[in-house]
Structure 1
Amino acid sequence: MRTQIYQILYSDSRPLAHHVVKGLFLLAVGAVAAVAMIETLPRFDQTAEAAMNTVRATAMVVLSVELIVRFWVAPEGSAHTFDTTNSGSFHTAETSASRFTYLVSPLGLVDLLAVLPAWVNLLHPVPLHWFELAAALSLFKLARYVPALSLVTAVVVRQGRSIYAALVVLSILLVFAATVIYLFEYEAQPASFSSIPESLWWAITTMATVGYGDMSPITPIGKLVGGIAMVFGIAMFAVPAGILASGFAEELRKRDFVVNWQSVAR
């Protein structure tokens, strides 16, 4: 039975059941996200609040069942489950390890955190903001069903070293720009550029070419520093974008190759 449920959850060997279960889980995720957004609207009356609470409770039951079932069938994803030569104690240890691995995996943590406020609320009242945060986290469940999200994850992991190097250089430039602008603008604008951490906000918005306008240099040297920061910011923020773009192109070529190879093999 556990193997059959695992196949329904993780493969399309049973298409009808798989799509029905997937649709139910997606509907629950959409419901909690919609309720979280609607509840923040002004003039939210008590009748609508009662309806939203019912919808959220129903969705949380569905997501809780999903968590429990995925936890139960987690051992089916390991090769050792199908090895009947393992002793009972070894099999039990491996089963527990598989379930723990699921819980500490990124999607396993998302599954747990998405329903945790509802579980705690059964014992102690939980502020509404925690449900809103859980609803936002539940959107990451879509990574199981939307190929584009898995593609993004694969690209980031594959290009991790290059992205890390670019972010380190960018961080150094941000701190350097914040320090320099603080030295030249503190005396002229002590309220705005009161410290290097405060100036770091200016450095981020300037190098990202956002420019909110809440902080801006007024001294000639400060304006020069700002202009240089903008030029370097355009260049440095383009580096991670270029890395990700090339990573996407490479990953898509690999996936197309796999699809074509499978088609030829058939």
Structure 2
Amino acid sequence: MSRLAPRPQRREPQNWREHLYEIIFEADTRAGKLFDVVLLVAILLSVAVVMLESVRSIRSAHGGLLFAAEWFFTILFTVEYVVRLICVPRPLRYVFSFYGIVDLLAILPTYLTAIPYVAGRAGTQRLATIRALRLLRAFRIFKLAHMLSEAEALRQAIWAARAKIAVFLSVVLIAVVIVGSAMHLIEGGKVDADGRPVVTGFDSIPESMYWAIVTMTTVGYGDVSPSTPAGKALAAGMMMLGYCLIIVPTGIVTAELTHVGAKKLSTQVCPGCMAEGHDADAAFCKYCGTHL
């Protein structure tokens, strides 16, 4: 009977930078998990502050406190971002990685509000809610490696079905253009008794295409609707087509999932290229060969 190969031993940190890297970028140690849990709590609180700031009554009553809290979290995340740059072996790789870009975007909006020209722009402060994207780190923090494996399997299935999905989207786009044009021909161009044009919502092909998309996706806002018998018949056909097309993407991806097996992945981040999604028994990065 063959024996299973032992899992590679973790290489111990050799200096303070490697030790700091292990705490900040890994979730396999107690210190690393504690750091990421505290970070997640801070992210949740900062997003809550931005949401509360958007409520007029709360902003008028506690505007100063919310302003101070927002700058506190921004400075905290700025220090964290700088520390990440210091301890990572290749800073530029981290800066242009997915999490690096998200971490930078999480602190930029508050600093932009300090610029006189930008400070008066509405919505700049609310861009700070992009920090919610950093909650994706929860997959690494709580050792949800099995969820990472399933997510990787889903990604592979979607990528394998990309050609079929592209054909499906092309069919949908063609149907929207044809039905939108037909509805514009049927419902558009109406005039009242005095010969003045009547606004029907189908006054142009783009507006009719908007109605077709809303109808096909079964959303049905009701802001635009046909009034003629021919228009209603076309709308009924569009609704039935929408119900039939809803299940197509699900079937395509499901068929590909049956051919993709979920591999067990680890939560480690490569110190060389900042890539994730390594096999649980991997000792080296499968993208650049760096020792994990």
Q: Is 1:197 matched up with 2:228?
A: no
Q: Is 1:238 matched up with 2:247?
A: yes
The aligned residue for residue 262 of structure 2 is 254
Q: What is the alpha-carbon distance in structure 1 between the residues aligned to residue 176 and residue 125 of structure 2?
A: 35
The aligned residue for residue 43 of structure 2 is 29
Does the CA-based 8 Å contact 2:27-2:36 persist in structure 1? no
The aligned residue for residue 18 of structure 2 is 3
Unaligned residue ranges in structure 2 (runs of 5+):
1-15, 191-197, 267-278, 282-292
Does the CA-based 8 Å contact 1:31-1:56 persist in structure 2? no
Q: Is 1:103 matched up with 2:118?
A: no
The aligned residue for residue 286 of structure 2 is none
3-state SS of paired residue (2:57): coil
Please, what TM-score do these two structures have when normalized by structure 1?
A: 0.75
Measured after TM superposition, the shift of residue 52 of structure 1 is 1.3
1:134 to 122, 128, 131: 128
More RCO (CA 8 Å, sep 6+): 2
Q: Which amino acid aligns with 1:2?
A: R
Residues 24-68 of structure 1: per-residue CA shift (max 9 Å, x gap): 221221122111221222323544111111221121122222322
The aligned residue for residue 86 of structure 1 is none
3-state SS of paired residue (1:254): coil
Normalized per residue, the structure richer in helix is: 1
Does the CA-based 8 Å contact 2:113-2:124 persist in structure 1? no
Identify if the C-alpha distance between structure 1 residues 226 and 244 changes in structure 2 by more than 3 Å, giving closer, same or farther: same
The aligned residue for residue 238 of structure 2 is 229
Provide the aligned C-alpha RMSD in A. 3.0
Structure 1 segments of 4+ aligned residues over 4 angstroms from their partners: 147-154, 244-251
After TM superposition, list the pairs within 5 Å mapping 1:156-195 onto structure 2.
156=155, 158-160=157-159, 161=162, 162-188=164-190, 190-195=199-204
Please, what TM-score do these two structures have when normalized by structure 2?
A: 0.69
Q: Which amino acid aligns with 1:172?
A: I
Larger radius of gyration: 2
Measured after TM superposition, the shift of residue 187 of structure 1 is 2.5
Q: Is 1:219 matched up with 2:234?
A: no
Q: Which amino acid aligns with 2:134?
A: K
Q: What is the alpha-carbon distance in structure 2 between the residues aligned to residue 249 and residue 53 of structure 1?
A: 51
1:55 to 34, 57, 69: 69
Measured after TM superposition, the shift of residue 12 of structure 1 is 3.1
The aligned residue for residue 154 of structure 2 is 155
Measured after TM superposition, the shift of residue 247 of structure 1 is 5.9
3-state SS of paired residue (1:213): coil
Identify if the C-alpha distance between structure 1 residues 58 and 14 changes in structure 2 by more than 3 Å, giving closer, same or farther: same
The aligned residue for residue 81 of structure 1 is none
The aligned residue for residue 145 of structure 1 is 138
Does the CA-based 8 Å contact 1:25-1:62 persist in structure 2? no
Measured after TM superposition, the shift of residue 157 of structure 1 is 5.6
Q: What is the alpha-carbon distance in structure 2 between the residues aligned to residue 203 and residue 8 of structure 1?
A: 52
Q: What is the alpha-carbon distance in structure 1 between the residues aligned to residue 179 and residue 224 of structure 2?
A: 14
Measured after TM superposition, the shift of residue 256 of structure 1 is 6.0
Measured after TM superposition, the shift of residue 158 of structure 1 is 4.1
3-state SS of paired residue (1:194): coil
Instruction: Compare 121-130 and 137-146 and name the one that shifted more.
Output: 121-130
3-state SS of paired residue (2:262): helix
Identity of matched residues, %: 29
